[in-house]
Amino acid sequence: MTVPRHFLFLIASTREPGHMGNTEWLARQAAASLPADTVQTWVHLARAGIPEFVDQRHTLGSYLMPEAGSVMRQLLDQTLACTDLVLVAPVYWFSFPSTLKAYLDHWSAWLRVPGLDFKAQMSQKRLWLITTNGDRAKAQPMIDSTAMCAKFLDMPLAGVLWGKGGAPEAVKGDAAAVEKARELFFEEHESLSQESAVSIAPQSLITAKELGDAGERHACELLRVRGYEATLLPPNSRTYDIRVRRGGVEFFVSVKASREKQHVRLGARQSVLGLASGNFVFAFLPLPKQQLEDLIAGQYVLLILPAELARNDALSIHDQYWMTKQKDPNIFSVMVKGYGTHHRAMWPQWLAYKDAWNLLPEA
Ligand SMILES: Cc1cc2nc3c(=O)[nH]c(=O)nc-3n(C[C@H](O)[C@H](O)[C@H](O)COP(=O)(O)O)c2cc1C
């Protein structure tokens, strides 16, 4: 049995009580996808009454454990109790709001409480950042700070989500951010290194859903050109998107499309288990270092993968990865990637299925 995750959401916005900020709203979209047994603790740092941090590193040299019942003891206990620490922080002056900074400054004390072993405990948790402001580029210094803080404590920075904020509710209009929020805690993120946090891709013009729909239509056209009868299955059909027929032959195709990255996101584990011999996965990928905005010949790579190969390869990586982390593999999206230590070896084998039309059954 896996231990349920415990998410601590630290809200750093200083909006007045009763006025939910963009960043908190976005965080709540992400949290809504968490399994029911996930513990969620939400703290408004601005209302917590965090005392000023006193730097006694070079006088006393150490700090007492915060007193039982004090604000800082409660925050320390909440911090240590979580498996996932989520900074829910708008950009203030290109940086962390002072509410969050005040909390983080106390880490310098907690690092020096004898016997607490704060760093070792923190290294077992995952750090996330959810942020909003008017302009993605201006959020970069704060994202970099987060990555450096994570590195200092040996914490994996598991994911960064940025949304276009501004006045309250503005972020609701950022469809890409809202969509990413739903997946944020489920994707098997590589721990973002400082470098990769810096190079988070700019916003795409097309949403993942739009590209997915375009991929299904385009796959149908490509099949029809080759003499197959291709019919889209009803939306939300499990595992497959297209029924293909020619003469007495029938098979099914699952279509995937990636906008920015060299990866194939196969989706929920239950759906992947449905990939069966005789059927196929069509995976549209962007050309290396480009974004896929439209499915125009020559501007994408199409992998035509036998369904059972896709299922077996992907689940062997996925299950092993999450088992070693003692996490339930069913709650994470199944992917195969051209990057990341435990995926890279498989990727060239998958690329060999580029335009593998010859594998489709003839009538
Ligand atoms: C004190 C303060 C400083 C801000 N500084 C910046 C800034 O440096 N760059 C920026 O793009 N937006 C800045 N903003 C705008 C906020 O980042 C933006 O409105 C954000 O979506 C607010 O998040 P919230 O709705 O969750 O409170 C600032 C807002 C405040 C209140």
Amino acid identity, residue 17? P
**pLDDT score of 204 more than 70:** no
Q: What's residue 319's pLDDT?
A: 93
C-alpha pair distances (Å), 224 with each of 217, 278, 355: 11, 19, 15
Spatial separation of the C-alpha atoms in residues 122 and 131, rounded to whole Å:
21
- CB-count burial class (<10 Å; 0-12, 13-18, 19+) for 119: middle
249-257: strand order across its sheet: 229-232, 242-246, 249-257, 280-286, 300-306
Which atom of ligand 1 has the smallest separation from the CA of 167?
19
Distance 352 CA to ligand 1 centre (A): 47
Residue 4's identity, in one-letter code, is P
Q: CA 280, 285, 287, 293 torsion: positive or negative?
A: positive
**197 pLDDT more than 70:** no
253 vs 346 pLDDT, higher one: 253
Q: Which atom of ligand 1 is nearest to the CA of 163?
A: 21
Q: What is the pLDDT of residue 194?
A: 39
Structure tokens at 264: 């194939």
Which atom of ligand 1 is nearest the CA belonging to 170? 21
How far apart CA 150 and CA 156 sit, in angstroms, is: 6
* Strands of the 6-11 sheet, one edge to the other: 39-44, 6-11, 84-88, 126-133, 157-164
pTM, whole model, 2 decimals?
Answer: 0.63
Residue whose CB lies within 8 A of the most ligand 1 atoms, among 9, 133, 161, for a mutation test: 133
Residue 218 has pLDDT above 70, yes or no: yes
DSSP-H helix ranges across the chain = 22-32, 71-81, 98-110, 118-122, 140-152, 175-184, 194-198, 208-225, 269-273, 307-324, 347-351
Least confidently predicted of 113-127, 132-146, 244-258, 341-355: 341-355
For residues 220 and 203, what is the distance between their CA atoms, to the nearest angstrom? Answer: 28
195, pLDDT greater than 60: no
Measured from the CB, is residue 163 less than 6 Å from ligand 1? Answer: no
**Using CB atoms within 10 A of its CB, is residue 171 exposed (0-12), middle (13-18) or buried (19+)?**
buried
Q: In sequence order, what are the residues at sequence separation of 6 or more whose Cβ sits closer than 8 angstroms to the Cβ of residue 277?
A: 306, 307, 308
List the domains of the chain with CATH numbers: 6-200 (3.40.50.360), 208-359 (3.40.1350.10)
Q: What is the pLDDT of residues 265-283, one digit of tens each?
A: 999 899 999 999 999 999 9
Q: How does pLDDT run across 13-56, given as a tens digit for each residue? A: 999 999 999 999 999 999 998 988 899 999 999 999 999 999 99
Least confident interval from 31-40, 164-173, 287-296: 287-296
Residue 319 contacts residue 329 (beta carbons within 8 Å): yes
Residue-level pLDDT at 205:
64
| Mean pLDDT for the chain overall | 91
Query: pLDDT tens for residues 325-334?
Result: 888 888 888 9
Digit-coded pLDDT (tens) for 74-107: 999 999 999 999 999 999 999 999 999 999 999 9
Residue 153 confidence (pLDDT): 92
- Asked if residue 198 lies in contact with residue 230, where contact means CB atoms within 8 angstroms, the answer is no
22 lines ligand 1 (CB under 6 A): yes
How far is the CA of 128 from the CAs of 63, 227, 297, in angstroms?
27, 48, 38
Distance of alpha carbon 83 from its chain centroid, rounded? Answer: 16
Q: Whose CA is nearest to atom 28 of ligand 1?
A: 92
Using the structure block, give the residue that is written with the tokens 């949290």: 31
Ligand 1: which of 25, 92, 130 to mutate, most ligand atoms within 8 Å of CB?
Answer: 92
User: What is the C-alpha separation between 223 and 226, in angstroms, rounded?
Assistant: 5
Tell whether the model's pLDDT for residue 297 goes beyond 80. Answer: yes
Closest ligand 1 atom, residue 134 Cα? 11
Query: Look-up: residue for tokens 């996965």?
Result: 281
Lowest mean pLDDT, pick from 153-162, 180-189, 210-219, 282-291: 180-189
Please count the residues of the chain. 363
305 strand-pairing partners: 281
Q: How many other CB atoms are there within 10 angstroms of residue 243's CB atom?
A: 15
Distance spanning both ends of the chain, measured CA to CA: 48
Higher pLDDT, 277 or 204: 277
